[in-house]
Structure 1
Amino acid sequence: MPFRFKVKTFGLILVVVIVLAAALISLAGYYSVYPKVLPDSRIVHADEEGLDIVVIHLSRSGWFDNYLPKVTVGEAAYRIYNSTHLVDEEGRYLKYVATGVVSVVEKSPYGLTFTIGGRGEPYDGYITFWGGVLSEEEVQSGSVEVTFERVVLWMPSRTFTVNLRVERIPEIESGRHPRVFYSEEDLSELKALVSGGSDNPMGVSLSEVFSQLRDMADGFLTESHFSVYGGRMTIYLPPNQPRRHTDNFPYWTGISRELQARLEVLAFMYLVTGDRAYAERAKAFMLYISNWNQWTDPDYRCAGPRTCLDIGHLSMGMALAYDWIYDTLDEAERFLVREALISKGIIPAYTEATEPGSWLQNPWRWPNGYAIVISGLGIASLVLLDEEPRAEVWLETAVNWTVRWLDRMGADGGYTEGHTYATYATDFTARFLYALLRDRSVNLFDHPYMRNVPYFALYSISPDGESIVNFEDASYGAVNDWKEPLAIAASLHGNRYAQWYLKRTGAYGSILRSHTYNTIYHFIGFNPEIEPLDPDGRLPPSRAFTSIGWAVFRTGWKENDTLFAFKCGPWGSHHHRDAADFVLNYQGIWLAAAPGYRLSTSTEAHNTLLIGGKGQGAADGRLIGFYNSSLVDYVGGDASETYGDGVTFIRQVLFVRPGLFIISDHVEAEGETSASWLLHAEPYSVIETSDAGSRITRRGKVLVIEMGSPQEVSVSTGRTEDLPYVRYDVGPSRRVRFLASLNPILAGEDEASVEMTFFEDCSSVNFTAPWGVGVAVFAEFLNHSTVSCWGLVSDGHVSGYIEKNGEMGYFLVNGSFLERDGQLLIRLDKYGYGAITVGSYKVVCEFSLKAAGWVGFYSPAEPIKVREGELEVPYIYDPASKVVRLVLEAGYHRLTVEFG
C-alpha cells in the first residue's frame, strides 16, 4: 500500500513537472513571437517643415497582452509622457496617437505603456507620432531602425527591431480654409444667422435652433459610446474601426452617419464659437478614423467592392471637419487626415466611378447610394483643391457624375425610390451643389430636376402636413426630411411655394426631428426672411411625375382637403411590386394606405390586383395618360408587363371633383384567370362590408366603397401584416372588369349614390352626390371605337357629364369627339383631353393636347370674345352647330368664352 501510494505521488509530480515545463516552453516560444509590424509602416519626412511623421502599423500575435514601454527611433528613445505626448531622455516632446489594437495603460513598474491587446477585436492598430525625430543623416539614409521594448506577463523585458523606410516629401501643402459653405469672410454672416430671433416670415428662431445644436455638441464632448440599429453594434469613442461581423448587415451605414454627425456638429460649433474644445474632440475622432484600414465595411456585400454609403458619409464628415477646424491642426495632423481622406475616401470612390461596368456608371441602379458616394467625393475633392494637384480631376469627375445622376432623375422632379430616399439623396446632392456654387460659382441648381423636385414634395404632402405619400420604401416621417433642396430653391430661385412647404412642416424650427447627420444644415442655404406663398388656389391642384409613373390629385392644400396618389412606373431600386397602386388621404387620414418601409413589398400588401392568385414581378409599369381640369382629373396606367406573358392589366382612375374617385380595371388573359381587387387601410381602421358595398372608418373619416363587375363578386376582409384590407374576388374568365367608386366623407355626412351598369362595349357610373349629379362612361375597348351610352357618343377612353351649381360640365379623356343628344360638345383633330363647363354667361374650356391642331367646342351663343388668361384668341363660330373653332399649340390651355 505505501509503495503504491509513492508510485501515484511520483506520477502526479511528474505530470505537474511536464505540464509546467510545457507551459514554460510554450511561453518562451510565444515570447519570441513579436507583434507584427505591417508593411505600410513608414516615416514621412517633410523637408520644408523639418517634420517627421512616424506611422507604425501593428497587428497582435498570441493571447497575451504585449506592453511596449519604450520606442527607440534611430538614436532617440521615447516613453509615454501623458495621453497626448511622448518624451525622450533629453526632455523633447512629440505628439502621438494610438488607435485600434494599441491602447495606453499603466503597467508597473514601467508607468504608461503602449499595449497591444491579446484577445478580441480589433486585430491591428497604429502608433503614430510626429515632430523633429530624425537627424539629417537618418533622413538621407532612406531607412531607420525602430526598436521596441516589449514586456509579456511578469517576464523581463526584451526588444525587437524593425527597419522603417523614410519617405521624403518637399513640404506639407496648405490651403485656403474654411471654404465649404462659408469662407473666412462669411463667418460674420454665419454668426449673425445663428443669433437671429423669430421675427421673420417663417417664425423660426435660429438662435433657439443653434442652442439645441450646441446642447447636442456638448453631449458629443463627453459621450463614451453610441449604438446603432437598436443596440446591435456599439462604437466606443474615439472610434476604432468597427468589429468584424458575419451577418451581412449594413452596420457601417448607421455608424458612418453617426460619426459624420459628430464630426460636422463639433466642427461647425468650433467654426461659430471658436471654442477649441469642440475642435479637439473632432480632431480626436478624425485621427482615429484616419487610422481605419478602409472606410467601407469589409463584411457587407454592397453594390461595389470599394464603396457603399459609409464611404460617402465618412468622406463628407471628415472633409468638412478638416475644412472647419483646419487652423487647429498642426502640419502632421493635416497630413494624416488628408492622406486618409485621399486614400480611403476619394481614391476608392473615384476608381469605382471611372471603372467601366461598375455600379457608379449607372445612376438608376441604386440612385441614393450613387448620390451619397458621389457627393462625398465632390465635397472631399473641393476641400483639397489648393493642396492636392489631383483634386481638380476628382472634382470634375464628381461634377460630371452628378450631372449624370440629375439627368437620370426626373426632369419633372420625380424621384424613383420614394420620399425617404428622395430626401436622403437629394439633400446630399444639394449640399455638394451648394458648396460648388459658393466656392466655384458653378450653378447646377438650374438643372430641371433641382428646379422641379420641390413640387414632388409639395404635391405629396398630406392635407394636414403631418405625413407624405409613402410609395416604395418610404415612411410618413419623410415629410420632415425635405430641407436643403427646398430651402435653396426658395433662396436661389425665389420659389416661395417651397418656402411654404418648409413652414408647413416646421422642418427648420427644431433639430429634434432631424437625423443627427442633417442637423447642421439648418444653417446652410436657408433664408428665414423669404415670405412663404400658399399654393392653395395658385398652383394646379394635380400633377403628374411621368418620369417615375406617379400622379397626384388634390382638392387643395388645406387641412380639410383630399389627396389621391397613383403610381405605375418603371421598376427600380427600393421598389415594391405594386404597379397601379394608389393611396388616398382625406383630411389627414390615410383611408387607402400603402405599407411604406416597415412592411411587405409584395403585391398582396398593396392596393392593386392579384391575377390568378399571384402578384407582380420586377418589371416596368407605365402611365398611359394624365389630365387635370377643374371638372375631372384622370390618370391611366398599364401594369401588364408586371404579370408576365399573356396578361393585360389597364387601370384608369377618374376623379370627379370634389369627392368621387372612380377606378376602372381591364384585365385580359390568354386563358381563364381569377382576379382579386385589394384596398388596404391604416392600422386600427374599422372595415365593414355588405352587399351594398364597404366602408372604412378611422378617426371620424369614412371611405365609402362601391364595387361592380359583370361577373359575380365575393367580398372578404383580412390583414396583411398590420394593415387591414377589403378584398373583392371574381372567378376565372378571359376578361375581367372591376369598376369601383371611392367616396371619402366625414362620419354622418351624406354619401354619393352610385349605380354601375355594364354593356357590351362600355360600362357606366351614374352618380348623385350632394355637390352634383352626372355620369361617367368607360369604353370597354381602348381602341377609340365609337361608344354610345346614356345619350353620349364618343371615341374617348372615358367621357361623361356633370351638373352642379347650375352649370353643365362635359369631359373627354383620350378621344377626338364628344356629343350629347346630337349636339357636338368637344371636337379635336388629334386625340387629346378636354372639359367644358357651360354657364349662363360664359363657357370655360380646359384642353390638354399632345400636338398642335384645331379644337372645337360648344357655345350656346356667339362669343363676345375668347381669351386665354388675359390674351384674346382668334376663333371661328358656327351659329348652326353652335361650335367655336380655333387652333391651339400642344400643351395645356384654359380658355374663357364670354357670350352674355
Structure 2
Amino acid sequence: MGSRLFTMGVLTMASLSAAPPHPRLFIDASDIPRLRALATQNRPDAFGNNPSKCWGKLKSKADRFVTAKPYSYTVTMPGREGTPGQKWTYTLSDGRPPPHDEFSHYPPWTAMFQERSDSITTRLRYLLLAHLVTGEDAYATRAKTIVSRLCAWDDIWTDRSYSSGIPCLDTGHAAVWVAVFHDWCANTLTEAEAEIVRTALAEKAVAPIAGMIEKIAPYHNFTAVIATGLGVGAISLLGHDERAEAWLDLAIRRMRLYMDQQGADGGSMEGPGYGTYAANQLADMLWALGGIGRADELSDHPFLQSLPRYCISLLDPGTKKMPCFGDGGPTTGFINLMRVLALQGNAEAAWYCREVRGLGLDSPRAFLSVDASRILPKQPDFRPTACFRDIGYAILRDGYRPESLFLAVKSGPPKARIGHNHYDHGSFLLRFGDEWIGWDPGYRSYFDPPRRRYTTGTFGHSTIVLDLNDDYIASTAASTPGQDQVNIAGGRILEFFGGDRLDFVRTDNTAVYNSAKKHVMDLFRREFLYIKPGIVVVLDDLRTPQPHTFSALLHAPGSASLKLGTNTATATAPGAFMDSWFFTAGGVSLRAGLSPGNGAYGPWLAATTPSAKTARIITILAPRLNDELIMNPGFESGMSGWRPRNMPGFRENHVIDTDVSHTGQASARIDNGGYYYSRQFPVEPGTTITARWWARCTAAKGASSMLYYWKKGKSFTRAKGPAATDTEWRQYELIDVVPEGTEEVCLALQFFGEGQCWYDDVEITLDRDRTVRSIPTTVEEVVPNRLFLLTRDGVRHLILIGAGEAVFEGHTYTASGTLAWFGLSDTPEAFANDAGTPTRDGRPIPKATGKWDRP
C-alpha cells in the first residue's frame, strides 16, 4: 500500500490500457517487503499494537483454514408469518448450493459470503493475506481450491431462489474476493488457470452486475455492494478484458450516485447499521481506486467530506457506539471507511478510529492499512452536538464528556422513503452511564408477526400513539391508521440549538399520521430541551379534528424493569435508573407492559391523556447511575439485571422458574448449558469482595462460578469460585481481593452439563464504602402544567411552559415562546425556544450561549 495508496493524479487512458502489474488491489509489489517487516516487528507501534503478535494471531487463523474441512453452512430458514422453518445445508463443492424455492423469502447464501468468523470470503481474506506476507504456496493453494469451486458453478454467483436469478449481495461479495485472489495470486496460476478465474469473474459476476446495476435504487446498500464488486472486479481485469475500463467507469458513476442519495447535510439514509455495511464496500472501492491513481473520483464527494463530522457527532462518548433508528441497534460504525479517510490525511477520521479502537492490527484489512506513520489523530475542535435534517437525526450531547447524558432524536427523513426505516418519527434513544436506558427495539423481525409489529410499528418506539387500548396492544398490524404513524417519511426537524449549557430541537411529526384516505392529525409538534449534564424536558403539542386520547410511549431495554407511581415512573436497568414525570391537563394515566416474547425487547410505558381534540404533554426525564451491586438478586423480576448466554443453541436453556425457588416466587434455572452474568459494577483494586448465592443442581458436575475482572471493556482475569454439586438448596461463597488494574467486576453463575441447575438469592458485599453516585433529581410542579422547579446535584432550573409570565420566590419570569429555561445560579442565564429574550422582573436575562440552526 505504502505511499501509493492514495495517489491523487488520474492516470491517462494509455496507462490504464497498459494496466498496472499485479498485485494492484489495495497493495502493490513494493508493499510486500514492508508487510513482511511489519510481521516481525516486536516493538509496539504508536497505537499500542505489537505487530508480530497481531500477525501471529492472523496467521494462526489462516493456518486453521488451510487444514479445515471444506466450508459448510447449515441454517434453519424461518417460515413465513411464524410458520415452521426448514433446514438448509450446503458444503462447498463444484455444484452450486441447493434451491429453496418454498422459502424464497429467506437468503441463506448471505451468511456464506459476508465476512463473519467463518465464511467463503472470510477464508479467502485470511488465506490470501498469509500468502502475501509469507510467500508460502500452501495458502494460495487452499485459496485456489475455494475459488475453483466457485468457478465451477453454473451460471452467475447468485441465489436463484431468493433473487430470481439476477445479481444479489452475494454476487458483489464473491466478485471482490475472487478479484483479489486473481490479483494477489497471479504468479501462482498457470495461464490456463488464470483464464478460468478471469472468465468466471467476468461472466458470473462483473458483466451481470453491469447489466442490471442501473435498475437498482441508488440510495440502497445493495448499490454499494454490487458497485464495489463491479469496480474491484474491473480493476483486477484491467489489461485482460477489453470491457474492464467501461465497467470501472460505470462502477464509479453508480457509487457517486449512491453517495448523492445520502443526507444532503451529511449522514447515511439507512442509519449506522446498514450505512456501515454500505460504507465498508465504499471503503474497499476507494482503497482499490487509490492503487490505480483514481481515488479522487470518489474522495472529493461531499458525503465523504462530511462523514467525519457525522460519525463523531453520533459517537456516544460513554459506550463508544452510535445510536441507530430503524433496522439496527447501537453500533460502532463506519470504521473501515473512516480508516481509509485517515490514510488520506484526515486527522478527525483518525481520531474517530482511535476512539472506537479501530486502529488495531486484528484483521486482514487492518494489518494492510494501519500505518502509524501516516494516521495522525487529532481531537476535533467543533461542538459535536448536531442535526442532520435530511436523514432526520438530531444529536444532543454534552461535548465529549462520557459521564453526561447522550440523547438521539429521530424525525424524518422528510421526503425519502427508506426501506429499512420504521414508523418512529419523534422517537428517541437515551444513554446514561453505560446503559441505553431510553431504548428502541432495533432490527425488525421479518417472520414473527407480533415481533414485527413491535419492532417496526409506532407502538415499539418512544413517540405518540392515539387511543391506546387492549385491542390495539394485541394487534399484529405493523401500522393501524387512525392510531399509528402510517408513513415512514414525513417527519421534520424544524429548529436546532446547540449550546454550552443546553441543547434544543423542535420537530414536526404531523404528516406521518395522515394518509390520502384518512386525515388524523392536525398537529404533532415535539420539542426536546436537554439541560446538561442530565435532564431532558419533552414538550408535545397535539391537535386532532376528533377527540382522542394521546399516549406518550417510553421504552426501556430488555434488562430493565419499570415501577409506576401516579404520574411518575422509574426504569431500573443494570447500569442506570431513569426517573420520569408526566404532566397534562386533567392528569395522565400510566400503564406498562412487556414487549412480545415475554419482554424480549424490554418493558414499555404509556402516559395517556384524557380524550380531547388538543393536548399538551410535558415529560421530564432524569437518569442516574445504578449503584446497586446486584440488581434483581432473587430473579423476582425475571432476567432483569442478568445477562444469559444469548447465542443460538443456548438461549432457550435459560428459564425463570416460578415453581422452584429458595425464597420468594422465582429462581434462575439453566438446562444443560448456559450462564447468568450479573451487571458489571465499578470497584477499587485492593477491595475484598464477597459473593454469596444459593444453588441446587441435579448433576454432580457441570456447575461453576467466577468473578470476572474488567478493564477498558475487556475481562483480563478471573477468580474461580465453588461449584454447586448438591441436589438440595445450599449457600455458596466466593471471597477474593480485587486485583490491580481492575475497573469493574461481575459475577458469573454457570452450568455446562447434563441436567439442571438453579440459582437464587445472590448478594455481594465489599469491605470498604463506595461513593454513592445516584442522587435523584427532584421535580416540583410550582404552577400546574406551567412552571416547574428541577433540582439536580444542588443546581436549580426553572422550566416555563407557554408564553407569558409566572411568579417564583417573589420574582416574575416572562418568556414569549412555548418552552423556556431559567438557570437559577449566581450567574443568571435563560433560553426560549422562539429565540426571544426571557426576563426576570422586567429585566432581560442573558441568553444561553450557543448557535441556532434553522433552515
TM-score relative to the length of structure 2? 0.70
Alignment match, 1:776: 799
Structure 1 distance, partners of 2:425, 2:94, is 44
Find the partner of 2:842 among 798, 801, 822. 822
Residue 209 (structure 1) aligned with residue 54 (structure 2): yes
Structure 2 counterpart of 1:617, from 478, 486, 489:
486
Deviation of 1:406 (Å): 1.2
Given candidates 779, 790, 799, the residue that maps to 1:767 is 790
1:491 counterpart letter in structure 2: L
Distance 2:376 2:402 in 1: 17
For residue 237 of structure 1, what is the aligned residue in structure 2? 92
Identity %: 26
Q: CA separation in 1, counterparts of 2:854 and 2:423?
A: 30
Q: Does 1:433 find its partner at 2:454? A: no
Structure with larger RCO (C-alpha < 8 A, sep 6+) = 2
1:712 to 2:587 alignment: yes
What is the letter of the counterpart of residue 610 of structure 2? G
Q: 1:399 to 1:534 in 2, by over 3 A?
A: closer
The 5 A counterparts of 1:701-850 are 701-721=576-596, 722=600, 723-747=602-626, 749-756=774-781, 763-779=786-802, 787-790=804-807, 791-804=812-825, 806-825=826-845, 835-836=847-848, 845-848=849-852, 850=854
Compute the displacement of 1:636 (Å): 1.8
**Cα–Cα, structure 1 residues 611 and 405, in superposed 2: closer, same or farther, change >3 Å?**
same
CA contact (8 A) 1:611 1:676 kept: yes
Residues 1:636 and 2:489 are matched in the alignment: no
Q: Please name the residue that 1:45 is paired with.
A: none
Partners of 2:259 and 2:344 lie apart in 1 by 18
CA deviation digits over 1:654-679, x for unaligned, max 9? 00112210011112111111222111
Tell me which amino acid in the other structure corresponds to 1:696.
A
Alignment partner of 1:353 is 2:197: no
Give the AA of the match of 2:370: F
* Distance in 1 (alpha carbons) for counterparts of 2:326 and 2:72: 27
Shift of residue 294 of structure 1? 3.1
Name the residue aligned to 1:381. 234
Larger radius of gyration: 1
Per-residue deviation, residues 625-677 of structure 1 (Å, max 9, x unmatched): 21100121011222222211231311110001122100111121111112221
Q: Distance in 1 between matches of 2:355 and 2:531?
A: 28
User: 1:319: which partner in 2?
Assistant: 179
Partner-residue secondary structure (3-state), 1:773: strand
Report whether the alignment pairs 1:627 with 2:479: no
AA aligned to 2:283 is A
- 2:733 is matched with none
Deviates further, 240-249 or 739-748: 739-748
- Are the equivalent residues in 1 in contact too, given 2:461–2:553 (CA < 8 A)? yes
Distance 1:757 1:649, change over 3 A: farther
The question of whether the paired residues in 2 share the 8 Å contact of 1:205 and 1:509 is answered with no
User: 2:232, 2:499 → 1: CA distance?
Assistant: 44
Q: Is the 8 A contact 2:496 2:852 kept in 1?
A: no
Q: Which structure 2 residues correspond to residues 859-874 of structure 1 after superposition, within 5 A? A: none
User: 1:612 & 1:328 partners in 2: Cα distance?
Assistant: 69
Match of 1:544 among 387, 395, 399: 387
Instruction: State the 1:393 CA deviation.
Output: 0.9
User: Deviation at 1:615?
Assistant: 2.4
Distance in 1 (alpha carbons) for counterparts of 2:293 and 2:377: 31
Partners in 2 of 1:298 and 1:643 — Cα distance?
A: 38
Q: CA RMSD for the aligned pairs? A: 2.6
Task: Write out aligned runs for 1:176-325 (5 A).
Answer: 176-197=21-42, 199-228=44-73, 230=75, 232-238=87-93, 240-246=95-101, 247-248=103-104, 249-257=106-114, 258-302=119-163, 306-325=166-185
Instruction: Tell me the residue number matched to 1:415.
Output: 268
8 Å Cα contact 1:463/1:587 also seen in 2: no
C-alpha separation between the residues in 1 aligned to 2:397 and 2:74?
Answer: 37
> Larger % of strand: which?
1
| Unmatched segments (≥5 aa) in structure 2 | 1-17, 77-86, 446-454, 469-482, 627-771
Residues 57-136 of structure 1 mapped to structure 2, 5 A cutoff: none
The whole-number CA distance in structure 2 between the counterparts of 1:193 and 1:800 is: 57
| Structure 1 gap segments, 5+ residues each | 1-172, 512-518, 780-785, 827-834, 837-844, 852-900
Query: Deviation at 1:531?
Result: 7.1
Secondary structure, aligned partner of 1:484: helix
Distance of 1:637 and 1:317 partners within structure 2: 45
- Cα distance between partner residues in 1 of 2:410 and 2:48: 36
Distance 1:524 1:484 in 2: 12
Q: CA deviation at 1:228?
A: 4.1
**Which residue, out of 410, 423, 427, partners 1:577?**
423
**Cα contact 1:708–1:756 (8 A) shared by 2:** no
| 1:672 corresponds to | 547
- C-alpha distance 820-639 of structure 1, shift in aligned 2 (>3 A): same
Give the direction of change, closer, same or farther, for the CA distance of 1:394–1:544 in structure 2 (3 Å limit): same
CA positional deviation for 1:739: 0.5
Matched AA of 1:191: R
- Is 1:404 matched up with 2:257? yes
Structure 1 CA distance for aligned equivalents of residues 38 and 586 of structure 2:
66
Deviates more, 1:523-532 or 1:609-618: 523-532
Aligned residues: 635
1:520 maps to a residue whose letter is P
CA drift at 1:618: 3.1
1:415/1:532 CA distance change after superposition, 3 Å: same
Q: Cα distance, 1:793 vs. partner?
A: 4.0
CA distance in 2, matches of 1:301, 1:230: 15
For residues 375 and 287 of structure 2, what CA distance do their matches in structure 1 show? 21
Evaluate the alpha carbon distance shift between residue 483 and residue 673 of structure 1 in structure 2; reply closer, same or farther with a 3 A threshold: same
Structure 1 segment 5-24 matched on structure 2, within 5 A: none
> Quick one: distance in 2 between partners of 1:377 and 1:188?
30
Deviation at 1:312, TM superposition (A): 0.6
Tell me: CA distance 1:239–1:694, structure 2 relative to 1, closer, same or farther (3 Å): farther
TM-score, length-normalised on structure 1?
A: 0.67
SS of the residue 1:202 aligns to: coil
Report whether the alignment pairs 1:509 with 2:382.
Answer: no
Please tell me the residue identity of whatever aligns with 1:434: W
Partner residue in 1 for 2:443:
597
